[in-house]
Structure 1
Amino acid sequence: MSGLAIKPSGIPRSPRRLKAKKCKNPACRAEFVPARSFQTWCSPDCAIAITAAKKQKERKTLEQRDRREIKVRKEKLKSRSDYMREAQISFNAFIRERDRLAGHCCISSGRPLDWNGNAVDAGHYRSVGAAPHLRFDERNCHAQSKQDNRYLSGNAVDYRIGLIQRIGLEAVEALEADQSVRKYTIEDLKAITAHYRALTRELKRAAV
């Protein structure tokens, strides 16, 4: 038997012609008439290309899922000190970008800073060890040369002079008098990290 449909009169019915469609291969997109309703390719080469693209997409999806799972596992293993370190890094990066765009010199020496290398720190007036509650206070942290921050112990006397010039004596005395206690939860630290990363991105976009 031929497989053609038989009309009630006994006369074979002609096969239904499928409508033309566009090839799903993005590099082709030629119009063709498929031999089967499910066919999405116009040629064997396009069929291979479509299959390869589908496999690549599936592989990418699996890789993204794996990365998300790894990130979740890493988050579970993090300690509070890890979150504190991330928050401090994001805050310090914001301070450096803020002062770079403002064209500030070293807060303590007054000398121009070398922004091209790795010679600039975010130096705290009242140190993180002595005043941990001020570690994320933008008034208390400014771009400073590594020489002054690391090898001159922050150059505190000259830092104070530069700080008064920048934010005023009243603000400096307020920092010096601040003996408040601040406990940062992990959620606080996550929020601080996200906040300063976003601010840094905004500064960089505005500078373009």
Structure 2
Amino acid sequence: MKVVKPKKCAVCGDEFIPSKTTQKVCGMNCAISLGKSNIQKQNAKAWQKEKKIMKERLKNHKDWLQDLQKVFNEFIRLSQKGSSCISCPNPEPTDAGHYRSIGAHPELRFEEKNVNLQCRKCNGYWGGNLIEYRKGLVRKYGIEVVEWLEGPHEPIKLSIPEIKEKIEYYRGKIREMKKKAEIS
């Protein structure tokens, strides 16, 4: 006959000799506690899913735009990784800075050529450091692109489904870039 090795109870941690090979707990009280905790975990997972759905229903247009802005900024940071600040020679920029501001030109908010890596100093403390930003844009894209950015544009009002579509588009791009980075 095979000798049964003692196990540690999954609930209380006491050692016990199991009567069956699949037994995880030492007794009835621990079995009840384990069952309750498993049910609570399942309920917690279900609640998290339900909460996420409810939160999405409560989001308004502004909330969706903020979500898109976060994803878009992450995309800019990843796509331009390794570049220096567009406005100064700082080799480690951390911000996704807009040349034409969101408040003054909301139609260019998600224009990739309008948003480039900037250091915190240029983007935040120096108000974008626009003169040097413009010079950097001319070097990077050419004068035609800069003049186009500075020209008039049609106002854009994205609907929530369009915003969700853009979020998925940029998330897909981010996943691709991260996969390429892992392979390299």
SS at structure 2 position matched to 1:192: helix
Flag the structure with larger Rg. Answer: 1
The equivalent of 2:169 in structure 1 is 195
Aligned with residue 44 of structure 1, among 19, 26, 49: 19
Contact 1:110 1:162 in 2 (8 A): no
The equivalent of 2:72 in structure 1 is 91
Is 1:105 aligned to 2:79, yes or no? no
Measured in 2, the distance between the counterparts of 1:206 and 1:61 equals 36
Amino acid at match of 1:91: F
Aligned length: 158
Which runs of 5 or more residues in structure 1 are unaligned? 1-42, 115-119
Q: Deviations over 1:74-97 (max 9, x none)?
A: 112212111111100100011011
How many angstroms does 1:173 deviate by? 1.2
Measured in 1, the distance between the counterparts of 2:38 and 2:164 equals 32
Which runs of 5 or more residues in structure 2 are unaligned? 1-17, 26-30
Measured in 2, the distance between the counterparts of 1:202 and 1:64 equals 29
Residue correspondence of structure 1 range 165-176 to structure 2 within 5 A:
165-176=139-150
Q: Deviations over 1:112-158 (max 9, x none)?
A: 115xxxxx110011111111011111111001001001111101110
Tell me the TM-score normalised to structure 1 length. 0.68
The equivalent of 1:77 in structure 2 is 58
How many angstroms does 1:67 deviate by? 1.4
Identity of aligned residues (%): 37
Tell me the TM-score normalised to structure 2 length. 0.77
SS at structure 1 position matched to 2:80: helix
Q: Deviations over 1:149-192 (max 9, x none)?
A: 11111011100100111111111111111421100111122122
Amino acid at match of 1:163: L
The equivalent of 1:129 in structure 2 is 103
SS at structure 2 position matched to 1:130: coil
The equivalent of 2:15 in structure 1 is none
